[in-house]
Amino acid sequence: MFGPRIAELLLERGIDARAVAADRLLAGADDADIAATALAEGRALVTNNVVDFERLRRAGEAEQSGVPGLIYTSDAAFPRDRRFVSRLVVALAVAAEQRHVEAHGGVSWLSGG
């Protein structure tokens, strides 16, 4: 859902990041496969797709199969204007440095603000 430039800029800041859109195997994968890959790699997943990933998170918790950390955001918090990429990168860098996902029980809402 987010372009590879965001992951590139996070990498430049020393934050391990991977863009689904830049991975030819994951780019066509369904949400469950993307979540499983994030879990297997020990990554948090950043998405605007709250409905589908919340469904997967709840199912994974109910089945005790594990779920990746999730960072939810929205177009309202990060409007897709010319500052979008830089604002999202800064917010994600802060979230990573402050370990927001762990601090919020595996799910964190990223605000634009």
Average pLDDT over residues 79-91: 94
Q: Are 109 and 73 in contact (CB under 8 A)?
A: yes
Q: Supply the pLDDT for residue 47.
A: 96
Average pLDDT over residues 1-17: 94
- Whole-Å CA distances, 53 to 2, 10, 32, 74, 95: 15, 23, 8, 13, 19
Q: By percentage, how much of the chain surpasses pLDDT 70?
A: 99
Whether 76 contacts 101, CB under 8 Å: no
pLDDT tens digits for 24-44?
989 989 999 999 999 999 999
What average pLDDT does the segment 80-90 reach? 94
Check whether 113 has a pLDDT greater than 70.
no
Better-scored residue on pLDDT, 1 or 70 = 70
Mean pLDDT of the chain: 93
Contacts of 65 (CB under 8 A, 6+ apart): none
Band (66; pLDDT cuts 50, 70, 90): confident
